[in-house]
């Protein structure tokens, strides 16, 4: 059965091919060290530096590398075969949260890092938009556990055993999560109204029957129309459905100025999710993030004391995009048959998460407050 025409044909495609980097001394699989440009062998401790991408004389990244803006409309208009490559990828698909996670070649089954459900690996050959850049992990696992524990202890009304059970049962997984960035030069024509205040003097009788005067504000409305231009740079859109959007967006801001050209070495020792939200759908989400900024520009252009926007039409020009990966430490923890996700920004250490509540603690708190209020009212009544 054919897919609906409205469905984004770029969605649910595979993009990352995991590579292994054997240790030159013992042959063990080396892993990336957060906060460095090095790989380390966990068996013999040998380290090797990740080769730097070719740079220009002024230190900027050479134009031949992948980390550059791609023309959105040109990419969409060209035949898919000209823009994508087939890759065989060893990965899992989670039926619980929908994540597609790459695995090491020797791993055939494990738990999903997003929701904790057991998943089994499969081999795919599909087309996809290649990753152009990433932000490597800056926060290591030990530091992430410290921040995670501090966040758990700071939660109000959490069950008494939450911290102990989560730190015992929860496992932090390092996952590179897919994002899109979009640039666009927008031009918006609008029609609306500008409200300007004016005041009149009103006479009234006060509580004692005496005549008083006061100023009363009114608004006089005038038609307004015009055009505003707003340029957007690196509007960031998560390309995953594995985590609630509110949760993942609360990890921002990201230091996009430090993006690295994609090199497989940075993924060594970590998982990487393939994008579930395609390029077109991602741009729709980017437009939603642009809309409040455009609206503010229209409000400023209308001027006056109040504004009404009756209609607006936005045109996009010079739209470009990048496909990038962001580092997350993720833990999925089950408490009383429910799954709670916790995520940590692998660059800044910002922690966000879902959490259970102890209704016993909440009930005791409410009862204590009511008792305190009752005592206060009693003593106030005795003082009258």
User: Which three-class secondary structure string do you get for 19-86?
Assistant: CCCECCCCCCECEECCCCCEEECCCCCCEEECCCCCECCCCCECCCCCCCCEEHHHHHHCCHHHHCEE
Q: In this predicted structure, what is the pLDDT of residue 191?
A: 98
For the chain, domain boundaries: 31-157+169-181+233-292+329-353
Q: Name which residue leads in pLDDT, 90 or 319.
A: 319
The token duo for 5 is 């025409």
Angle at 112 between CA 164 and CA 350, to 5 degrees: 60
- Residue range 297-323, pLDDT digits in tens: 999 999 999 999 999 999 999 999 999
Q: What is the pLDDT of residue 92?
A: 60
Q: Is the dihedral of CA 53, 56, 60, 62 positive or negative?
A: negative
Least confident of 114-128, 153-167, 259-273, 351-365: 114-128
Residue 254 has pLDDT above 90, yes or no: yes
Neighbours of 194 (CB within 10 A): 18
Joined tokens for residue 165: 């059970």
For the chain, how are helix, strand and coil distributed in percent, rounded to 5? Answer: 25, 40, 35
Residues of 344-358 as b/e, b for ≥16 C-beta within 10 angstroms? bbbbebbbbbbbbeb
Most confident listed range (12-26, 60-74, 119-133): 60-74
How would you class 36 by CB atoms within 10 Å of its CB: exposed for 0-12, middle for 13-18, buried for 19 or more? middle
Predicted pLDDT at 120: 47
Q: Helix 162-169 to helix 141-153 angle, to the nearest 10 degrees?
A: 160
Cα separations in angstroms, 122 against 84, 149, 303: 21, 34, 59
3-state secondary structure of 290: helix
Maximum distance among all alpha carbons in the chain? 99
How high is the pLDDT of residue 75?
84
The H or E element spanning position 216 is strand 211-238
Say whether pLDDT at 232 is over 80.
Answer: yes
Count of other CB atoms within 10 angstroms of residue 32: 24
Phi, psi dihedral angles at 249 (to 5 degrees): -70, -25
Where residue 76 falls (left for φ over 0; alpha for ψ -120 to 50; beta otherwise) is: alpha
Q: What is the pLDDT of residue 95?
A: 61
> 23-32, 302-311, 336-345 — which one is most confidently predicted on average?
302-311
- Cβ neighbors of 222 (< 8 A, separation 6 or more) are 193, 194, 195, 196, 304
Taking residues 327-344, what's their average pLDDT? 77
pLDDT at 12 (0 to 100): 39
Predicted local confidence at residue 306, as pLDDT: 96
Mean per-residue pLDDT of the chain = 77
C-alpha span between 273 and 324 (Å, rounded): 11
pLDDT of residue 105: 46
The pLDDT value given to residue 270: 87
Higher pLDDT, 205 or 227: 227
Residue with tokens 């054919």: 2
The predicted structure's pLDDT at residue 15: 36
Q: Tokens at residue 69, please? A: 């803006």
């Amino acid at each position: 059965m054919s897919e609906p025409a409205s469905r984004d044909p770029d969605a649910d495609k595979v993009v990352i091919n995991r590579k292994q980097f054997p240790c030159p001394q013992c042959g063990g699989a080396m892993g990336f060290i957060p906060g460095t440009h090095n790989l380390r062998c966990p068996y013999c401790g040998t380290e090797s530096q990740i080769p730097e991408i070719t740079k220009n004389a002024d230190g900027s990244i050479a134009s031949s590398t992948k980390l550059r803006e791609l023309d959105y409309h040109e990419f969409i208009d060209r035949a898919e075969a000209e823009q994508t490559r087939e890759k065989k990828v060893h990965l899992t698909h989670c039926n619980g949260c929908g994540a597609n996670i790459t695995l090491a070649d020797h791993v055939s089954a494990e738990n999903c890092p997003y929701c904790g459900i057991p998943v089994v690996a499969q081999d795919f050959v599909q087309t996809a938009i290649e990753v152009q850049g990433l932000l490597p992990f800056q926060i290591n696992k030990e530091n992430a556990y410290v921040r995670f524990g501090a966040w758990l202890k700071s939660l109000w009304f959490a069950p008494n055993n939450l911290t102990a059970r989560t730190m015992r049962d929860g496992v932090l997984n390092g996952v590179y999560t897919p994002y899109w960035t979009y640039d666009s030069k927008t031009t918006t024509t609008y029609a609306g109204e500008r409200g300007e205040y004016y005041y009149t003097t009103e006479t009234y009788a006060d509580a004692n029957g005496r005549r008083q005067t006061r100023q009363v504000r009114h608004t006089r409305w005038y038609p307004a129309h015009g055009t505003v231009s707003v340029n957007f740079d690196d509007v960031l859109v998560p390309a995953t459905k594995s985590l609630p959007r509110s949760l993942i967006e609360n990890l921002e801001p990201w230091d996009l100025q430090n993006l690295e050209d994609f090199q497989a070495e940075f993924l060594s020792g970590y998982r990487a999710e393939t994008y579930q939200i395609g390029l077109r759908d991602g741009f729709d989400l980017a437009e939603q993030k642009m809309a409040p900024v455009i609206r503010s520009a229209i409000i400023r252009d209308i001027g006056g004391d109040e504004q009404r926007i009756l209609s607006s039409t936005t045109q996009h020009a010079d739209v470009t995009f990048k496909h990038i990966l962001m580092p997350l430490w993720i833990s999925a923890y089950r408490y009383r048959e429910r799954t709670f996700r916790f995520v940590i920004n692998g660059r800044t250490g910002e922690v966000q998460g879902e959490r259970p509540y102890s209704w016993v603690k909440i009930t005791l708190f409410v009862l204590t407050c009511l008792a305190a209020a009752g005592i206060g009212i009693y003593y106030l009544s005795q003082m009258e």
